[in-house]
Chains A and B, each alone.
Chain A
Amino acid sequence: MTLTLQLKKTLTVPVDAGCISPDVVAGKPLREVAKLPVWEGNRKRNLSDVFDIRGESGPTCAKTAIRLVGALSKARRIGADMTDGLIEVRGDVGMHLGEKMRGGTVTVDGNADSWAGSEMEDGTIVVKKNAGDYIGAAYRGSARGMKGGTIVIHGNAGTEVGGNMRKGTIHIHGDVDQFVGIRMKNGAIIVHGAAKGRAGAFMTGGKLVLCNRVESVLPSFTVDSIKTKAKAAGESFDGPFYLFIGDLAEHGNGKLYVSKNRNPQLKHLEELL
């Protein structure tokens, strides 16, 4: 059953909308959903002050779908801690989308801001356009990043994608900024677009597949071999790839695949093989 939330006004200050989650609304009648608390800046409001609410929520979170309509780029923490069900965003969405989520699916038609899927444990997040920084990353200071699940970004993503990642998969179909896979311990990140430098800095495990042009490879990675294919997250990606091992500065054993054809500037490394 679907609950539709249509934004009533233009948001000028950040809104903490952690209550927009199938876990919270499931089994609640509309009048209770309307009274759920949200913070608009430093003011506490009811959900119905910010959204027009229609439809109904399902009896359990698995049977609940939430459709969000409007310019939600200032609405934060949507789907935080959700365990099941579906959230469908028609438009852009703000920071901390699906933070710490443990199941279910979130789809976004537009752009997502930073920290989407940060510290998530399971479930799926799909963003049709671009995403901000720290996708699937650990919170500041923490060493516990994404533990499972899948994030798919069809556009570009910012810096530090998958920071401190421990498990799970991130697909970026566009380009990524610096430090993709920083401090990753396990799991897989696949970047189909170009990657700026410092990919895999401090990584100690896991797989980072860069299928397109890479600005540079860190000197703390050693070139290991040339592979025709890269296998990651149960899929196979056509190469050929240079396989680097690192980050040696951290005694790491992470695998960094870099497309051979798209990176002729790395050809000189073949002498070392």
Chain B
Amino acid sequence: MAALLIKNGFVYDPVNGVDGEKMDIAVSRGRIVEKVGAPHVIDASGMIVMPGGIDIHSHIVGAKVNSGRLLRPEDHYKDVERRTSVTRSGVGYSIPSTFTTGYRYSRMGWTTVMDPAMPPLKAKHTHEELNDTPMLDKGAYPLLGSNWFVLEYLRAKEFDECAAYVAWMMRATKGYAIKIVNPGGLEAWGFGRNVRDIDDPVPHFDITPREIVQGLCKVNKLLNLPHTIHVHTNNLGKPGNYATTLETLKCVEDFAVDTKPIIHLTHCQFSCFAGHDWRTFRSASDEVAEYVNAHNHATLDIGQITFTDTTTMTADGPFQFILYQITGNKWVNNDVEAETSSGIVPFQYKRKSYVHAIQWTIGLELALQIQDPWKLFLTTDHPNGGPFTSYPKIITWLMSHKARMEVLKKLNRKAQRKTLLPELDREYTLSEIAIATRAGQAKALSLADKGHLGIGADADIAIYNLNPKRTHLAKHPAAIQRAFSNAAYTIKNGEVVVKNGEVVKSVNGKTFWTDVQASPSLLEIQPELQKIFEEYYTVKYDNYIVPDHYLAQSAPIPVQAKV
């Protein structure tokens, strides 16, 4: 692996306080180093250099994504990629095949992606697909918010035991963080019901979503997991749900110490709806942004929608049922034994629809009103709001008032009158974009070697052909979109993998998982677990666990628990 020297680029590295200064970056053996001898020189003059992009929430692999692929042949034939000398062929626009997913992320300069919804029972499938997703480091969050064991431990207030179970679960599924989707609601969906709000008890379990979120937040702290709890709120996608969202954020307020975040609210656009029904539907971005600006215990990602034909998929079975009823489209509904549910419905976001237009404005209003860029990250909740390939377009909306207004004037008239967007003249700087797409996400995930370009960091670097000194970016959104769509160079682990938007080398990435070192006394739950497991599950305990060798490049992150 040759040493690299990236010369004369405008470097954006917010973690190390570098804001567009012209400097050289040296790379050796997959790391960023002070200097190198006899390097291969990459001339980045007139270009911007950033850490490789990171996606904290993108449904790219697993049973649900694959069911989506099976459900939508029409999504495949409209977007076909041919094989090249280094890449495989692939298909799919909103749910591309695994290899294509890796190549497309890499072409945009992204190098790390997290799949946020892994039903533990489907962990093996998820890791099989992760193994086949090249170009990226990755990880997956097991779904624990409606898991029977978790619910029972939390009801009994056995937090240490619950922590032991979650630690075991991280190891068994090779998972990275605790994912909570519609806490309790997915369990209720097994009986055709849902929970109404954060204090509505889960049927048969006598526990409220509030207790689940608080309990898992405590467990997360006990275990010192690298990421916070990753929460998809109750009532997601329903008018008026912002009250539930605020309640969810408030319910863990007291657990915060210092300014360290303890909850991540994902795809918050879908959780910031006001109004009583779809007719009175409006944006609640003010209320939520105001709260987030005044508190430091939460991070968020947008879940921005784009006007396109996409596929919605979440573990939130009851929400997908509502979408199915609204659209009449084909629908997949699934119940994963004692763990979770899931649903898939193809969906088209339309400019002329009042609701869709308002959803588009909610995402951007949040991004522009939440002042601290370290609190809000760029996602589309791929593929729910649109495919990840629309990130360059969204970056232009964030960076350019002009670009936003051009879209806005084509939207539903009533929505145009209701939005705050024309008054919000904030325009993201490149440094803020670097935070929202890289540095902030690395910090939220505690990936210390990622998201920055300091000495010792992983050499995951993106170089974009965009000259901020020569081009007035806000006035030329097309230039931004062009540059971010096709990275001039993507460097993964010290190797040039993309050049001028073309993949020149296919590499495999690591799979991160959390290896919790807890006190041995906590292993005492195991025999009990095994016994209950035999009763609850259709698979054997031993077949359930994902062995280490199952991962192509296993990268355990050791964590010392407090219990």
* Smallest CB separation, B562 vs chain A (Å): 50
- Among A138, A140, A141, A142, max chain B CB count under 10 A is at A141
Number of A-B contacts (CB under 8 A): 15
Is B73 a contact partner of A139 (Cβ separation < 8 A)?
Answer: yes
Is A141 a contact partner of B73 (Cβ separation < 8 A)?
Answer: yes
- Kindly state whether residue B125 has any CB partner on chain A within 8 Å: no
B329 cross-chain contacts in A, Cβ below 8 A: 143
* Smallest CB separation, B39 vs chain A (Å): 41
A140 cross-chain contacts in B, Cβ below 8 A: 73-74
Cα of A138 to Cα of B329 in the assembled complex, Å: 15
Cα of A2 to Cα of B161 in the assembled complex, Å: 82
Chain A 112-143 residues near chain B, CB threshold 8 A = 138-143
Cα of A139 to Cα of B78 in the assembled complex, Å: 11
A142 cross-chain contacts in B, Cβ below 8 A: 73-74
Per-residue B-contact encoding for A14-40, CB less than 8 Å = 1, 0 else: 000000000000000000000000000
* Smallest CB separation, B210 vs chain A (Å): 39
* Smallest CB separation, A258 vs chain B (Å): 27
- Kindly state whether residue B205 has any CB partner on chain A within 8 Å: no
Size bracket of the B interface: under 10
A141 cross-chain contacts in B, Cβ below 8 A: 71-75
- Kindly state whether residue B550 has any CB partner on chain A within 8 Å: no
A138 cross-chain contacts in B, Cβ below 8 A: 74
Number of A residues with CB within 8 Å of any CB on chain B = 6
* Smallest CB separation, A206 vs chain B (Å): 16
* Smallest CB separation, A257 vs chain B (Å): 25
* Smallest CB separation, A144 vs chain B (Å): 8
* Smallest CB separation, B325 vs chain A (Å): 12
Per-residue B-contact encoding for A195-224, CB less than 8 Å = 1, 0 else: 000000000000000000000000000000
* Smallest CB separation, B311 vs chain A (Å): 11
A139 cross-chain contacts in B, Cβ below 8 A: 73-74, 77
B73 cross-chain contacts in A, Cβ below 8 A: 139-142
B75 cross-chain contacts in A, Cβ below 8 A: 141
- Among B73, B74, B75, max chain A CB count under 10 A is at B74
* Smallest CB separation, B344 vs chain A (Å): 13
Can you name the residue of chain B whose Cβ is closest to the Cβ of A139? B74
Cα of A138 to Cα of B330 in the assembled complex, Å: 15
* Smallest CB separation, A16 vs chain B (Å): 13
B72 cross-chain contacts in A, Cβ below 8 A: 141
Cα of A235 to Cα of B419 in the assembled complex, Å: 49
Cα of A139 to Cα of B75 in the assembled complex, Å: 11
Chain B 327-353 residues near chain A, CB threshold 8 A = 329-330
Per-residue A-contact encoding for B51-80, CB less than 8 Å = 1, 0 else: 000000000000000000001111101000
Cα of A138 to Cα of B77 in the assembled complex, Å: 13
* Smallest CB separation, A241 vs chain B (Å): 29
Per-residue B-contact encoding for A134-173, CB less than 8 Å = 1, 0 else: 0000111111000000000000000000000000000000
Cα of A143 to Cα of B72 in the assembled complex, Å: 11
Can you name the residue of chain B whose Cβ is closest to the Cβ of A251? B328
Cα of A143 to Cα of B329 in the assembled complex, Å: 8
Cα of A141 to Cα of B71 in the assembled complex, Å: 7
What are 15 A-B pairs with beta-carbon distances under 8 A?
A: A138-B74, A139-B73, A139-B74, A139-B77, A140-B73, A140-B74, A141-B71, A141-B72, A141-B73, A141-B74, A141-B75, A142-B73, A142-B74, A143-B329, A143-B330
7 tightest A-B contacts by CB?
A142-B74, A141-B73, A141-B74, A140-B73, A141-B72, A139-B74, A139-B77
| Extra pairs beyond A140-B73, A140-B74, A142-B74 (8, CB < 8 Å) | A139-B73, A139-B77, A141-B71, A141-B72, A141-B74, A142-B73, A143-B329, A143-B330
Interface set of A (CB-CB < 8 Å, partner B)? 138-143
